[in-house]
Structure 1
Amino acid sequence: MASPPRRRLVGVSTKMYFSAARTKQYADELLTHISKSSNILDQLDVFIIPDFVTLTSVIAQLENSRILTGAQDSFYEDKGAYTGEVSPAVLAEVGCRIVELGHAERRRIFGETDDDAARKAAAAARNGMIPLVCIGERTQGEIAVAVNECQAQVEAVMAAVPDEAEVILAYEPVWAIGAAQPAGADYVVAVTKDIRSLDCVQKRRGTTRILYGGSAGPGLFENLKTGVDGLFLGRFAHDPAQFYQTITEIATA
């Protein structure tokens, strides 16, 4: 029996760019745009990942919208003497649905490793949330080299999470994050197709969706749709109108 088609997916992280007031305004404006199309969320999944301080208020704002709310990180233990960390159990309790993990900035600034990302992914999954794990090669080069570097990151995660758990992989070439232009479409499609063909992905019972991130924005998905299930957006989607434009493009591509 053929596997059911994977739902397309698009989302944004606000990182640490917004004030609390701007986050509220952003969510309100996005809801206004989405209300223009009564059935667009029937066609794909949409998520917002705000900062921790505004997370619960965004969850409340989006409660009746079907837009998923995510967190930018979490710890790998559910409770304990871990001052300053955020419990995945508490995230799940307040309605968080997705947890972003292993972003290149966390790896670079805080020294997080593949093992850290895997342990955190396992914690998110055991608490009923979807781990969204960022993967990507550090330097631009050959496709095979990129896939090999990503493979170690993917295998660590898949070995840690339950086989039936849903996982989202956000392919973000580190060299393309914050760049003026995204990575070339042919390159991204080739790398993501090879990632999807890895045994640790192919043999899973759970759904594995792959997003592209790294200077992603409007007009990009049409060129990537044979390799990815959607986009993970950054600053190009900090304008709600551009985010809505991208949502529409992905829904109709």
Structure 2
Amino acid sequence: MTTTPVSLTSTKMNLGLRETEEWINDVLLPRADALARLRFCACLPHPVLPLGARLLRDSGMSAGAQNVWYEAGAFTGEVSAGLLAEVGCTHVMVGHAERRRLFAEDDRLVGRKARAAAHAGLIPVICVGEPERLGHAETVRYVRRQASAALDALPHETPAIVLYEPVWAIGSAQGADPHQAAAVLDALHRAAGGHHDVGMIYGGAVVPGTYSSLRRLAPWDGVALGRAAQDSALLDETLGELLSSRPVDTPWVRVE
């Protein structure tokens, strides 16, 4: 099925409650028509998710979470997938590089979280990426292992997004080489195997021109935005680029 590219962002812990409200009202909602065409999802910290879901309702955009626990019960400080769905989330990130590094989350745990999200009706955004600049073959093996561990935990019919974001590119001025990224995309498709509803997007130092550069070599389904999502000028330029690109096949999302 042919659609425009897809996009999302994570605010991490960079915005407080009032700042999140101002960002949604002043930056996202005035661009709702364009962002809705990208099925844009804003992944927010747990305390502001109800606010985000309410503000984004009926805009064509959605609110997602940045983390989830894989079962219900006495897990103080954690949040279940069922609760995230109840407050209005549509997506949840699992396995972000910062959680793998700071909280020692391994591939097995990421797979459990992805499965829990899917069972609750959420779309898991499976984050993968090499921790440092590696050689071509080593990068491909590293990322494919991460993706396979999570995708193998999901039923084949489950919608999912794999976000390839090299750890060394997060917050930097330069992203992955398009040729190496193309090889990674091929490995991700192989890891997906029989999964039919998996979108593959790139993140890491995404600025205007990044998507076009990547798409010249490989059929990426979209990009995850960092600072470009909070800078009005950068966002306008990036939106123009994404929406003027040739449509791509993204079977995990349905055109209404």
TM-score (norm 2): 0.89
For residues 155 and 112 of structure 1, the distance between their equivalents in structure 2, rounded to whole angstroms, comes to 15
For residues 133 and 240 of structure 1, the distance between their equivalents in structure 2, rounded to whole angstroms, comes to 27
Q: CA deviation at 1:42?
A: 6.3
Q: Which residue of 165, 168, 176 corresponds with 1:175? A: 168
Whether the aligned pair in 2 keeps the contact of 1:10 and 1:247 (CA below 8 Å) is no
Structure 2, unaligned runs of 5 or more: 246-256
Instruction: Give CA deviations for 1:96-152 in whole Å, capped at 9, x if unaligned.
Output: 000011011001101000111100000000000000011011221222211101111
Q: Which amino acid aligns with 2:214?
A: L
Instruction: Give CA deviations for 1:13-50 in whole Å, capped at 9, x if unaligned.
Output: 10001121110010012344315xx5x35643111112
Cα pair distance change 1:127/1:217, threshold 3 Å: same
Paired residues in the alignment total 243
Whether the aligned pair in 2 keeps the contact of 1:14 and 1:50 (CA below 8 Å) is yes
Matched, 1:212 2:202: yes
Q: What is the aligned partner in structure 2 of residue 114 from structure 1?
A: 107
Whether the aligned pair in 1 keeps the contact of 2:36 and 2:60 (CA below 8 Å) is no
Q: What is the aligned partner in structure 1 of residue 231 from structure 2?
A: 239
Q: CA deviation at 1:93?
A: 0.9
For residues 236 and 24 of structure 1, the distance between their equivalents in structure 2, rounded to whole angstroms, comes to 18
Q: Which residue of 6, 10, 24 corresponds with 1:9? A: 6
Whether the aligned pair in 1 keeps the contact of 2:125 and 2:163 (CA below 8 Å) is yes
Matched, 1:105 2:98: yes
For residues 234 and 31 of structure 1, the distance between their equivalents in structure 2, rounded to whole angstroms, comes to 14
Q: What is the aligned partner in structure 2 of residue 203 from structure 1?
A: 194
Q: Which amino acid aligns with 1:33?
A: P
For residues 227 and 21 of structure 1, the distance between their equivalents in structure 2, rounded to whole angstroms, comes to 38
Q: Which amino acid aligns with 1:26?
A: W
Identity, % of aligned positions: 37
Whether the aligned pair in 2 keeps the contact of 1:14 and 1:49 (CA below 8 Å) is yes
Equivalence map 1:1-253=2 (5 Å): 4-5=1-2, 7-35=4-32, 38=33, 40=34, 43-77=37-71, 79-196=72-189, 198=190, 200-205=191-196, 207-225=197-215, 226-253=218-245
Q: Which amino acid aligns with 2:198?
A: T
Cα pair distance change 1:159/1:102, threshold 3 Å: same
Instruction: Give CA deviations for 1:36-93 in whole Å, capped at 9, x if unaligned.
Output: xx5x35643111112111111010000010102100000000x210000011100001
Whether the aligned pair in 1 keeps the contact of 2:228 and 2:238 (CA below 8 Å) is no
Q: CA RMSD in A?
A: 1.7
Whether the aligned pair in 1 keeps the contact of 2:69 and 2:79 (CA below 8 Å) is yes
Whether the aligned pair in 2 keeps the contact of 1:99 and 1:130 (CA below 8 Å) is yes
For residues 109 and 94 of structure 1, the distance between their equivalents in structure 2, rounded to whole angstroms, comes to 27
Structure 1, unaligned runs of 5 or more: none
Q: Indicate the SS of the match to 1:189.
A: helix
Whether the aligned pair in 1 keeps the contact of 2:28 and 2:35 (CA below 8 Å) is no
Q: Hey, which bits of structure 1, 4+ residues long, moved more than 4 A? A: none
For residues 29 and 234 of structure 1, the distance between their equivalents in structure 2, rounded to whole angstroms, comes to 17
Cα pair distance change 1:144/1:227, threshold 3 Å: farther
Q: Which amino acid aligns with 1:73?
A: N
Q: CA deviation at 1:188?
A: 1.4
Q: What is the aligned partner in structure 1 of residue 254 from structure 2?
A: none
Q: CA deviation at 1:194?
A: 2.8
Q: Indicate the SS of the match to 2:89.
A: coil
Q: CA deviation at 1:183?
A: 1.6
Whether the aligned pair in 2 keeps the contact of 1:168 and 1:210 (CA below 8 Å) is yes
For residues 138 and 42 of structure 1, the distance between their equivalents in structure 2, rounded to whole angstroms, comes to 32
TM-score (norm 1): 0.90
